[in-house]
Amino acid sequence: MSRGLFLTLEGGDGSGKTTQAELLQEWLLREGRSVVRTREPGGTDVGLEVRELVLHHRGDIAPRAEALLYAADRAHHVATLVRPALARGEVVIQDRYIDSSVAYQGAGRVLDPGEVRRVSEWATEGLQPDLTVLLDLDEQAARARLDAARTRYDRLEAEASEFHARVRAAYLEIAAAEPERFLVVDAALPAAEIAEQIRDRVRPLL
């Protein structure tokens, strides 16, 4: 039996993770592999309840509570879905993992990124991806996509774009620190080209 493979996709909102997960799944199925596609938050029944709380709760959630909710979703997801699939020799393609917590919760500037990572590593008993694809959207492309959808920015949107820039910088920093785990792709490229870069990096891992 082939060994399991844990592949994660990271990147800002709207960077094309879903499209790439689909293309990667189709290719791996053609290669004869069993594939599980999943996501955080919300990859399990418990996770869906956590997702509802963390993404749709009206009112503030304290930053440490928010970080723990993502970690709780992750703990249950890894224990009940991801590890069993890997043990069966399957390929797990996952939309967002620990790096999302480090980039997003860390980019709020309130929490220490190293502490955020340690909480999730405890939650997952140290499960690391074999490969993480970062779909990096440069500022120009991100702005062009925003401009296509909006003619004016309100204060909130301006703030959101500053937060987005911090998340992007955090992701690039994480990727630079672990080049052997990461593939960084320019998310402004055509989807087919991105998919090819990902396949080239995954092929030797199969």
Question: Rounded to an integer, what distance in angstroms lies between the CA atom of residue 189 and that of residue 159?
Answer: 26
Figure out which of the listed residues 5, 24, 36, 40 binds ligand TYD, where binding follows CB under 6 A.
40
**CB nearer ligand TYD, residue 44 or residue 100:** 100
Residues 115-144 that bind ligand TYD (CB under 6 A): none
Check: CB of residue 110 under 8 Å from CB of residue 67: no
For the sheet containing 35-39, what is the strand order?
A: 35-39, 91-95, 5-11, 131-136, 182-186
Q: By CB under 6 A, is residue 171 in contact with ligand TYD?
A: no
Q: By CB under 6 A, is residue 70 in contact with ligand TYD?
A: yes
- Of all residues in this chain, which one has the CB nearest to ligand TYD in the complex? 104
Paired sense of beta strands 5-11 and 131-136, if any: parallel
**CB nearer ligand TYD, residue 20 or residue 101:** 101
Comparing C-alpha atoms, which of 81, 92, 77, 82 is closest to residue 2? 92
Name the minimum Å distance from CB 169 to ligand TYD: 15
Binding site for ligand TYD (CB under 6 A): 13, 40-41, 55, 70, 95-96, 100-101, 104-105
